[in-house]
Structure 1
Amino acid sequence: MFSAQRIRLYAWLSLASQILIVVTGGLVRLTGSGLGCPTWPKCTDDSLITVPEMGLHGAIEFGNRLLTFVLIIIALLTFITVMRLGRGNRKGLVWPSLALGLGIVAQALLGGITVLTGLNPWVVGAHFVVSGILIAIAAMLVWRVYKPSESSKSNRTGLSWLVLVVGWISVLVGIVVTGAGPHAGDAKTPRNGLDLEIWQHLHSYPGYLMLALIVLQLWLSRKELAKLSSKITAGLFVASVIQAIIGVAQARLGVPPFLVAAHMLGASVIIALLTFNLVANKSSK
């Protein structure tokens, strides 16, 4: 269970589970189940778990809470396995594996605050920010587990930092857009009061800028397309184009729930790829 051969599996499970909980959390909100369990840490005042009276909404919300325990188990397996590695082999792995475990606990507490504040859109947004940070940490863990290296010198490290910053700005503005949109998680939950159409446009600007910077990065690496760093940048480009198409479609179609879920998945994948893109170019020497 804690053998060194399993560390790659646990690293990928960490990344996949962090993305998964974003998607399931989105489904809770999109199905109007945000207050399916109206209190925290119990599901109801009298029960730790959901009860039949809470119906499907209670089952969905409680199911998402249970997923947190899966993440904690994965984090524990990862951290213990890392600590059992030799001192030289665990270099660079300790802090991300530890941060994931601590972050999951912090995320659970923030989830409780989200429920206790009646799904305040700003608290819900903070919930996603923490998830994004944990996705980035998990991506860093995956990279350090594999320790890939390349021989040619890269002149794109600064550009990859710029892509990362602009990408995160797009994500943060997108969180504000979500708070202005129609899917609050519960019929009685107020939105943040901002104009959805205006903020959808504001969200698109850093998104398109990020896409342009990725194209520039690909152009600068056009003679090294076989390198891992270039392949990661190409993957980031494809994911960003798909994300832009989904974003335009959901704006034109009135923000349908299934496209919102796809957009949340896309944002999570892009956060991971932004991290890979940065560390890959930093590792090219």
Structure 2
Amino acid sequence: MALASVVGNVLIVGTGGAVRLTKSGLGCPTWPRCTDESYVATSEMGVHGVIEFGNRLLTFALAAVVIAGVVAAWRQRPRRRPLRLLAVAAAFGIPAQAMVGGLTVLTNLNPWVVGLHFLASMAVIAAAFAFWRRTLEPDDPARPTVPTPLRGLAWVVAGVTAAVLVVGTWVTGSGPHSGDAGAARNDLDPETISQVHADMVFLLLGLAIALWFALRAVRAPAGALRAAGLLLLAILGQGLIGFVQYLTGLPVLLVGAHMLGSCLVWLAALAVLWSTRERRPAGIAETPQPHLATASV
């Protein structure tokens, strides 16, 4: 159920992107109702109403998944308080995200609020990811698997990834895909903010390469090295999609793929951060790790 929550949150980012890219952002012109008289889309609203209302229905399906996850975490024996807290955090993210989505409609797709809607999804994905990963671990104290400086570098990579996502919403807010023909833009120069975004992606790529080589140099566990490699592949793939969509005039299919790619890069960055520590049951002896013992040499 925890893994289903991660997948569901990524998919709803994709369907939310489809709402924007098909200009269906105001298919339901109000919230929480679809119209002033109806909670559901009507035939007079056409395909845009169907698309927007369909995305709202998916929120209920995702809510059912996360509630099931909370129930499963509460019923697990022995009781695991951290797991329960993460399950609740992931669950509460859904109504919070729905309220932000409602605010985007009530503000007529204000680009800053639309960006906040996407970033709220990234926060919920992070909570769902942590919930899922903790289901695979005991509740024993975490131990580092890499030297402290490299764990710090992993945090920097995650922070820069978050910054890239934030600036990416500014690029979106300056571009043509507003979600509705009458929606405002953020008045930032598209070329300038796109260049800033690209520069930050290059910074992230450089940091990810440095982290991968550093992990190899200290003979880090295979899991950490594999996670860093997957992050590199995700960044390169996302960068390629970004450049192609920019050079081809932002076709909707590539923009949608770029949105899903953002989720994968974010998840890959979180996986790298997670791989720099581990939890072992109290009865299992810790494997000697030469890279930790020699880290200060």
Match of 2:230 in 1: 235
2:206 counterpart residue number:
212
How many Å separate the matches in 1 of 2:233 and 2:267? 14
CA drift at 1:14: 0.4
Unpaired segments ≥5 residues, structure 1: 1-9
* Pairing partner for 1:13 from 4, 7, 10: 4
**Does the 8 Å contact 2:144/2:278 carry over to 1?**
no
2:20 equivalent to 1:25 = no
Q: For structure 2, which runs of at least 5 residues remain unmatched after alignment?
A: 280-288, 290-297
TM-score (norm 1): 0.92
Q: 1:222 aligns with which of 211, 216, 222?
A: 216
CA–CA separation in structure 2 for the residues paired with 1:36 and 1:261: 19
Decide whether the 8 Å contact of 1:24 with 1:64 is kept in 2. yes
1:133 corresponds to which residue? 123
Q: Deviations over 1:110-149 (max 9, x none)?
A: 1111111101101101101110001111111121111289
Change beyond 3 A, Cα 1:237–1:87: same
Which structure's CA Rg is the greater one?
Answer: 2
1:74-113 alignment to 2 at 5 Å?
Answer: 74-88=65-79, 90-113=80-103
- Counterparts of 1:241-280 in structure 2, within 5 Å, are 241-280=236-275
Counterparts of 1:141-180 in structure 2, within 5 Å, are 141-147=131-137, 153-155=145-147, 156-180=150-174
Question: Do the aligned partners of 2:144 and 2:276 also contact (CA within 8 Å) in 1?
Answer: no
Q: Supply the AA of the counterpart residue of 2:248.
A: L
* Structure 1 residue 87, shift from structure 2 partner: 4.0
**Residues 109 and 85 (structure 1), Cα distance of their counterparts in 2 relative to 1, 3 Å cut:** same
Relative to the length of structure 2, the TM-score reads: 0.88
Q: Which residue of 2 aligns with 1:192?
A: 186
Aligned length, in residue pairs? 275
1:226 Cα offset (Å): 6.3
Does structure 1 conserve the Cα–Cα contact (< 8 Å) formed by 2:6 and 2:129?
yes
Fraction of identical pairs, as percent: 41
RMSD (Å), alpha carbons: 1.8
Name whichever of 13-22 and 213-222 sits farther off: 213-222
1:130-176 C-alpha deviation (Å, 9 max, x unpaired): 10001111111121111289998402211100100111111100011
Q: Is the 8 A contact 1:96 1:141 kept in 2?
A: yes
The alpha carbon displacement at 1:270 in A equals 1.2
Q: Residues 202-223 of structure 1: CA distance to partner in whole angstroms, max 9, x if unpaired?
A: 0011211111111111111226
